Amino acid sequence: MEGADPRDECEGGLSCDGQGACFAKTAGQVCASDNECVSGFCTDGVCCPSRCGDTCRDCRSGTCAEVRNAPGPDTCSSCFGDATCTGRDVLEECANGTECSSGICVDNTCRKRDGSTCAGNAECENDACIGGSCTSPSGILDPCDDSTDCQSNLACSGGFCLVPDGAPCITVTQCVNLCILGSCAPMSGPLGGCENSGDCIEDLFCTSDECIIPTGSDVICSSSAQCVVICAPDGGRCSELLGNNDFCTSSTQCLSGRCNPVLNFCF
């Protein structure tokens, strides 16, 4: 039988040809040394047509072939799809983590693991390089270098991830600006929402959850609704109601509620 030698008649690594003769082994047959093979090459435990010693090449099939996306014999912990050894650097193209020295492939790019030193967000598996170290995106009040370090609904302000204007809030410390009536917002102007006068721009005060312009303020008004009393048409400032004989253009300006439409005075 070809390959069988029950009487150990073939020496020097030769094999039986099944017809009573000894011959050297051919490609694909198991071997222990080069002199057993017709080709003179014993590679990866089988006779091989060539030495097949390059990185990410294997001859276990009897043919010297590329190893793809798997461990390479003796030479490489993992081989790329293009038959080169693993170890691609950060930001190099990859198909899977086995191709990267870090073991992390995100969006076809080799990235660094959390906890690794970094110089920018693009190097990190979670797109967050904070204080020179890869980490997960920061939550509310966690540290940040810029808004890309924060979870998608947050903004970096003063070195911390905070809730931007227009988003819900519980406390003022969560917000980029103020927490007003359950929503982050900047200081309010006339008729803007407020919980106290500190929520209003300078020279306004809070009453009934609205910022109001006091009488005599230099803040310009556009309607009397913005004022404690009335918005004077001349000059656009909040004023007191006018007394009798004071110049008026509308009865709403007068303390009496009456303005002479011809002579323009309160009476």
Res. 1 pLDDT band, cuts 50 70 90? very low
Query: What's the pLDDT score for residue 128?
Result: 85
Question: What's the longest Cα–Cα distance across the chain?
Answer: 139
Residue 6 has pLDDT above 80, yes or no: no
- Rounded to two decimals, what is the model's pTM? 0.48
Res. 180 pLDDT band, cuts 50 70 90? very high
SS3 content of the chain, % helix, strand, coil (to 5): 10, 30, 65
What percent of the chain clears pLDDT 90, i.e. is strictly above it?
38
Map tokens 């009496």 to a residue. Answer: 256
Instruction: Please tell me the distance from the alpha carbon of residue 79 to that of residue 86, in angstroms, as a whole number.
Output: 5
Query: What's the pLDDT score for residue 178?
Result: 95
Q: Which residues of 59-80 are buried (b: 16+ CB within 10 A; e: fewer)?
A: beeeebebbeeeebbeebebbb
